Amino acid sequence: MRTILIIDDDVAFTAKLKEQLSEAGYRVLNTSIIAHAERECAREHPDLVLLEVRTERDAGWEALPRLAALQPVIVLSSAGLEEDVMRGFAAGAADYVTKPYRTGELLARIQARMLPEAPVIAPAKPVATAATVEETPAMPSKRRPAEEEPEPVFMSEAEELALLRNTESTPIRQLTESEEQASFGRRLRAERQRRHLTLVQIENDIKVRMYYLQAIEDEQWSLLPRGPAALRMMRAYASYFGIDSAAAEAEYRSRYQVDEKSPAFSFTVGNVNTRITRRTPPRWLIITLAVVLALAIAGGAIAYFDPAFFNQLFGALSS
């Protein structure tokens, strides 16, 4: 049985992935400690390693070249920037898959990068004697056709570049009736595939992380940031294809409480401008507090430097 070692410090994710690989027929080992993982590789000699490079605060990046020297390593990571992918391949990764992933695609990539099994050595055939030849009836010889080489699972780099160059000339098909009547997420995916676009291209256009885009396509609202930021992502993706997002927004509001009324200061979450509610007090209240604070400071300073001042003042007022 083929053995796969998972290196990831996300316990919930590792448990789910281990279950998927076990159901696919693999023997699965897992660890969240880089040093222990390297000892496991030396002792168990796994056929493949799935590595999250952000394990132990990015310590996986340092271990990647050492692990790749022993067996194929597929980086399975939430670090999905272009420079991260380039860095992974430069360090010796056999493949690079970003989270979230599709299970079927991951299993196909694992099968393609798996070490070949050791050849089985057949036992030596007994030497035929003359008597054996006479007793054995002649059998017609059957020649097996030459085994064809399996088709590659993935395109070469040159083929992929050629496909990207020809994308603009590829005709855009019309949506089928079932696709037009599909749910919000499936309609978005159908529109994207119809126009031959990738999640990376859309991420660059609307500045929303690709794993949020995939969560919207899968209608996994729990994977989106809570509040108005999620609604803005849904609107941005829907308006990119001219799709009405009102029904999906209503569904999201029915599950999570959203307050979009109050103005706010903004910050960035996953390249998406996010707002936090902040109420401004009335102007008169600010002025009153400033005057009271100034008088208190002045009175305190006078009392500190001239303690008799207030006694003289009160005496003068009483007389």
Which of 93, 113, 133 marks a domain boundary?
Answer: 113
Pick from 73-77, 96-100, 262-266: least confident: 262-266
Write out the residue range of the structural domain in which residue 272 sits: 180-277
Whether 12 and 106 map to the same domain: the answer is yes
Digit-coded pLDDT (tens) for 221-278: 888 887 788 888 989 999 998 888 888 888 888 887 776 554 444 444 444 445 555 5
Whether 256 and 295 map to the same domain: the answer is no
Strand partners, 95: 74
Residue 159: inside a domain: no
Which of 89, 113, 137 marks a domain boundary?
Answer: 113
Residue 144: inside a domain: no
Residue 172: inside a domain: no
Residue 127: inside a domain: no
Beta-sheet strands, E only, within the chain: 3-7, 27-31, 48-51, 73-77, 95-98, 264-269, 272-277
CATH of the domain at 19: 3.40.50.2300
Whether this prediction's pTM lies above 0.75 is answered by: no
Digit-coded pLDDT (tens) for 18-45: 999 999 899 999 999 999 999 999 899 9
Whether 308 and 234 map to the same domain: the answer is no
Whether 190 and 266 map to the same domain: the answer is yes
Averaged pLDDT for residues 106-116:
84
Residue 169: inside a domain: no
Which of 71, 98, 113 marks a domain boundary?
Answer: 113
Pick from 53-57, 154-158, 308-312: least confident: 154-158
Nearest to 98 by CA among 216, 200, 4: 200
CATH of the domain at 258: 1.10.260.40
Q: Please check whether residue 7 is in contact with residue 37, taking contact to mean a CB–CB distance below 8 angstroms.
A: yes
The residue type found at 81 is: L
Average pLDDT of the chain? 78
pLDDT score at 255: 81
Number of domains in the chain: 3
Highest mean pLDDT among 130-134, 144-148, 171-175, 203-207 belongs to 203-207
Residue 213: inside a domain: yes
